[in-house]
Every structure is written in C-alpha cells, then in structure tokens.
Amino acid sequence: MSPILYAKVHKYTFVISIGEWNVLPDVKVKSLMINNTIPGPTIEVTEGDIVEVKVINKTPLPHTIHWHGLEVPNDQDGVPYVTQDPIEWGESFTYRFVAKPAGTHFWHCHWSTLLHISGGMYGALIIHHKDKNKSLNGKYNVKKDITLLVDSIDPEWQTKMLNMMIKMHKKEKEEKTFSTVKEYKEAIKAGYKSPYLKGIPKPEYKYHLINGHSYPLIKPIITKVGEAVRIRIINVGNIPHYFHFHGMQLLVVAVDGNTLKSPYYVNTVPSFPGQTIDVIMRPQIKGWWAVHDHAEWGSTNNGHFPGGTVFLIGVADEKGFISNYRPKISLTQ
Ligand SMILES: [Cu+2]
C-alpha cells in the first residue's frame, strides 16, 4: 500500500475576485484578490503532507496558480498552455500535490504574471521539515517565525491594465493559441497580427509593499535581546530590494528554501525577484531599529522618503523595556 494514503491532507479554497485594496490609507488600488486579501492565504504544512487547493474564478480574466519552488507532478505546475488550460470566469480547478521540498516557498498566479502578481495574487508556502533534526527553527531555537512578502506596484498602470485586459478578454473571449511554430508562422503570413506589435506600457513602480502595505502601515517586529527570530523574505515582485537592518547582524540560513551548508552573516539582505531567503536575527541591543531597502527608491511612497519597505524592529530587554524614545510617523523627510 502506498504510504501516501496515510499522509495528512490540507484543503484550501481560493476564491479570486476583483476589488480595491488600500496599500496606504489614501492609496487604493484595483486588485485581483484571493479570499479578499493581499497577500492571499499562507499555506503552511509539513513535508510529505498533501495540499489540495480548490481555485474558484469569480473574475472575467483567466488564471492559473503556480507553486513556486515545489516539485509537483507536471500537470499541477500551473503554467497556462504548457501544463493546463487557464481557469476561465466561473470555472474552478483543484490542484493536488505532495508538499516537497521543505523550506520557504510561495505561490502565485501564472497568467499574465506581471499584472496578476502585482494585482495581488500571491502568498507564502511554508513547508516544515519532516525530520525534526533538519528543522532550522529547532537548530536556532527560533521564538518567532515571520514571513515578509515583498512586492512593488504602479497603481495607475495596474488599474489601466486590468480594465484593458477585462475589456479585451470580454471582446475576444479567446487566447489565440498555435499547436506548432509552423502554424504560428503561417498565421502571420495569412495576416494574423501579433499583440506584441502594439506593445503595452511598462509599469513604473511607485509603491513598495511588505505583506500588502507600505510604510507606515507595515507591522513592526517585536522581540527581546538575544531571542532568535526567523525572517523569511519572499520577493514576489520584479525588482530587487536590499534590506539593511540597523544595529544587528543576521545569519543567512537558507536560499530558495534550501538550507545552506555554510550559513553566513550580513547586515544587508539582498532579495531578488522570485527568490526566497531565510535569515535568523538575534539582536543584542535594545531599542527601536530601522530596516529599509538600501536601494532607497524602495523606501519611498511615490518618490517620497520615508515610505515603501521601511519598518521597525522593537528589541526589548528582559523587563520588556524598548526605549524612552517613542518613534513617530514621519512622511516629510
Ligand atoms: Cu491570475
């Protein structure tokens, strides 16, 4: 009998809808949301468990979901026209796979990826080691395990593109596909006009998000002197960020979910598009410590510093005291 019959099954339902999302109190963006939130649900399981995700599409756009970093059966990989037809308006599709390998991963929509990720279709996918001896949380005595999903958006581009794509998809109700390159070449000869000849505008990223919000809406991390916090940084967007942590060193322990044989210390953590990076911090000095993208554009809201990915780490002493200075919200530096 297959051991898979005894595996734990985790069932999720992803309902995709179009709505408005506030990245800041006064910045609302037309978005593609899963279960009405950005980021979408976190999938957190143990290696070898079965993950079952029912995707229900309530938008007039096609979608597929890709399990980034996972080794899934080919027909569950979620690449439109490579492993499956897109999930159309009113349709649903259920993905099912064994969770592997262990580590920090994520999921995202793979249709019109540039627009649908910035639209909000992404979430964390955390797979814990089955073998407790391999657990990084165990090894480093981690007291807090925090995930930061990083993205950059251009609200005007996003709204314009979503409206345009909805109109186009309604009008044409077709994604022209070809079975072979020969067929594609012949269609062009016969007068087919490729959409790339028209081009589309490029986004100019103006707001930089951690877990769906920009500074000053990003939640601070609160910890104690000497306590280990694991931070999983997942860059789902299209530009790199370089997170500089004030007042401490961080141990890089995993990249793309893979545990490093030789962990190393940094105080600036580079985060590249599509990459996940796990760091352990164990701050030694109490106080409010700033973290920000040292490529400073990523620390702005529409060009204004401070904004974007800026956030704080509050390090308390054994009595719970952080600092006499109480941080203020500044938008005018
Ligand atoms: Cu999508």
Residue 306 DSSP code: S
Ligand 1 geometric centre to CA of 117 (Å): 7
- Any domain includes 106: yes
Domain termination residue (choose one: 100, 134, 168): 134
Shared domain for 120 and 220, answered yes or no, is: no
- Any domain includes 24: yes
Percent over 70 (pLDDT), the chain? 97
Ligand 1 geometric centre to CA of 296 (Å): 30
Taking residues 21-26, report their average pLDDT.
97
Q: pTM of the full predicted structure?
A: 0.95
Asked if pLDDT for residue 107 goes beyond 60, the answer is yes
Q: Over the stretch 186-208, which tens digit does the pLDDT of each residue have?
A: 999 999 988 889 888 999 999 99
- Residue 72 tokens read as 């899934």
Ligand 1 geometric centre to CA of 271 (Å): 23
Name the residue range of residue 112's domain: 3-134
Q: Tell which residue, 154, 158, 117, has the closest CA to residue 30.
A: 158
Shared domain for 105 and 244, answered yes or no, is: no
Ligand 1 geometric centre to CA of 59 (Å): 9
- Any domain includes 21: yes
Shared domain for 126 and 211, answered yes or no, is: no
Distance CA 118, CA 212 (A): 10
Domain termination residue (choose one: 79, 99, 134): 134
- Any domain includes 170: no
Shared domain for 98 and 148, answered yes or no, is: no
Ligand 1 geometric centre to CA of 118 (Å): 10
Whichever domain contains 245, its CATH number is 2.60.40.420
Shared domain for 217 and 88, answered yes or no, is: no
Shared domain for 148 and 284, answered yes or no, is: yes
- Any domain includes 57: yes
Shared domain for 30 and 98, answered yes or no, is: yes
Shared domain for 130 and 250, answered yes or no, is: no
Q: Over the stretch 164-189, which tens digit does the pLDDT of each residue have?
A: 988 887 766 556 789 999 999 999 99
- Any domain includes 198: no
Distance CA 109, CA 14 (A): 11
Which pLDDT score, from 0 to 100, does residue 127 have?
A: 98
Cβ proximity of 223 and 215 under 8 Å:
no
Q: Largest Cα–Cα distance of the chain, in whole Å?
A: 77
Q: What is the count of structural domains for the chain?
A: 2
Where do we find the tokens 């103006």? 206
- Any domain includes 180: no
Ligand 1 geometric centre to CA of 77 (Å): 14
Cβ proximity of 61 and 164 under 8 Å:
no
Shared domain for 260 and 236, answered yes or no, is: yes
Ligand 1 geometric centre to CA of 21 (Å): 16
Ligand 1 geometric centre to CA of 33 (Å): 9
- Any domain includes 187: no
Shared domain for 117 and 256, answered yes or no, is: no
Shared domain for 88 and 147, answered yes or no, is: no
Which pLDDT score, from 0 to 100, does residue 171 have?
A: 64
Q: Over the stretch 218-250, which tens digit does the pLDDT of each residue have?
A: 999 999 999 999 999 999 999 999 999 999 999
Ligand 1 geometric centre to CA of 86 (Å): 9
Distance CA 212, CA 120 (A): 8
Shared domain for 16 and 65, answered yes or no, is: yes
